[in-house]
């Protein structure tokens, strides 16, 4: 069981790497130019497409995705599995939601402006793997806190 406890954090770490790599793949296209998610977030923030303060804050925070992923990787590698899994789960849910919305909207290929599916799909896959690893970390860690029961009586030895 000791070796199996190390698998979910590595799955979460692998998902985080895929997630970050996906954010650097093309997300948006404008004519023949493709932009990754950070360029698109910067452009949308500077052009003030959104009047909502929450959306503007989210666009400015988007650049922290690689930094937060690095913190998660460090926590998971140093053995702080629950803390790393908690932050990983929150990051995977939030970034995965954005990637899912972009993936759903990426179907229209006809216009000059559009969403390239490569970046959002890769990011969504990474978020799914990272979330599965984080949830697996919680499940394995929770299982070790319960003492074993005997088969005959069902009581603790």
Q: What are the residue ranges spanned by the domains of the chain? A: 4-143
Give 111's pLDDT tier (boundaries 50, 70, 90): low
Which residues does residue 33 pair with via DSSP β-bridges, in sequence order? 30
Average pLDDT over residues 143-152: 59
Instruction: Specify the pLDDT at position 116.
Output: 84
Q: Is the pTM of this model over 0.85?
A: no
Helices (H), strands (E): how many in the chain?
6, 3
pLDDT, mean of residues 138-151: 66
Strand order in the sheet with 26-30: 33-36, 26-30, 113-115
Q: In the predicted model, is pLDDT for residue 107 greater than 70?
A: no
């Amino acid at each position: 069981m000791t070796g199996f406890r190390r698998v979910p954090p590595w799955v979460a770490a692998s998902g985080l790497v895929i997630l970050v790599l996906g954010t650097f793949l093309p997300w948006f296209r404008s004519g023949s130019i493709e932009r990754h998610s950070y360029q698109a977030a910067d452009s949308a923030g500077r052009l003030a497409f959104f009047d909502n303060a929450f959306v503007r804050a989210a666009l400015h925070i988007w650049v922290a995705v690689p930094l937060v992923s690095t913190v998660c990787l460090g926590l998971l590698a140093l053995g702080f599995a629950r803390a790393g899994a908690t932050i990983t789960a929150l990051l995977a849910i939030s970034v995965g939601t954005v990637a899912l919305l972009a993936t759903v909207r990426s179907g229209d290929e006809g216009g000059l402006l559009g969403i390239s599916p490569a970046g959002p799909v890769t990011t969504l896959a990474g978020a799914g793997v990272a979330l599965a690893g984080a949830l697996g970390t919680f499940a394995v860690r929770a299982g070790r806190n319960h003492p074993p029961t005997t088969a005959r009586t069902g009581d603790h030895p």
